[in-house]
Amino acid sequence: MSLSDARARVGALGSTGRRAWLVSVGAVAGAGATVGLLAGCGFERRQQPPLRFASIALTGFAPDSPLRAELARELATQVRVLPNPAQAQVVLQALDEARERSVVAITAAAQVRELQLRVRLNFRADTPAGRELIPRAELLLSRDMSYSETTALAKEQEEAELMRAMQTDIVGQVLRRLAALNP
């Protein structure tokens, strides 16, 4: 398509169509420029640290643990996650995993105004032979959240999102500790 053909098409759109077309072209050009600038400055999404072992077994987690599921999913991108600890190079054992919710502030009428959410993981890592790689460690994350009975459904969704974010943070911290291992 030549420049004169493009001008003829834009002219045929009318003023409203022309304006919409120009806005969309401007948005695409702006997005392209932003990507170009980020690529030029060395920006790169954070990658998981490389692991120096080939297989791992996860033990001690509850069967329906969302933390275990996310951890296994992230580990599976780099190593094999095995069900049998005797066959793995590293055994990650969850000693305690908890999601807690406590009331921090209430009104004079006994209405909840603020909650504290916590995700806790106690774990250790060993070899199948019993050599300690990571001694017992505790990861604890907490977030404060305001609460209102009038927006209970929205606050329930906010709580679930905060719990997922804390879980993702814990998985990242565990992966960084595993990356420091050299079994």
Per-residue pLDDT of the chain (183 residues; tens, 9 = 90+): 565 665 566 565 566 666 666 667 666 666 666 666 665 677 776 677 788 899 999 999 998 999 999 999 999 999 999 999 999 999 999 999 999 999 999 888 888 889 999 999 999 999 999 899 999 999 999 999 999 888 989 999 999 999 999 999 999 999 999 999 876
* Nearest residue to 177 (alpha-carbon basis) of 46, 98, 77, 71: 71
The amino acid that residue 132 corresponds to is E
For the chain, the structural domain boundaries read 3-40, 55-179
The one-character DSSP state at 57 is: E
3-class secondary-structure state, position 145: strand
Closest CA to 53 of 81, 72, 73: 81
Contact of 144 with 105, CB cutoff 8 Å: no
pLDDT of residue 16: 64
Position 47 scores a pLDDT of 72
Quick check: 122 and 173 in contact, CB under 8 A?
no
What does the alpha-carbon distance between residue 12 and residue 83 come to, in Å, rounded to a whole number?
A: 65
d(CA 89, CA 97): 23
Give me the pLDDT at residue 183, please.
67
User: Would the pTM of this model clear 0.75, i.e. be above it?
Assistant: no
Nearest to 62 by CA among 53, 75, 72: 72
pLDDT at 169: 96
pLDDT at 84: 92
Selected from 3.30.930.10, 3.30.160.150, 3.40.50.2000, 3.30.470.20, the CATH number assigned to the domain covering 55-179 reads 3.30.160.150
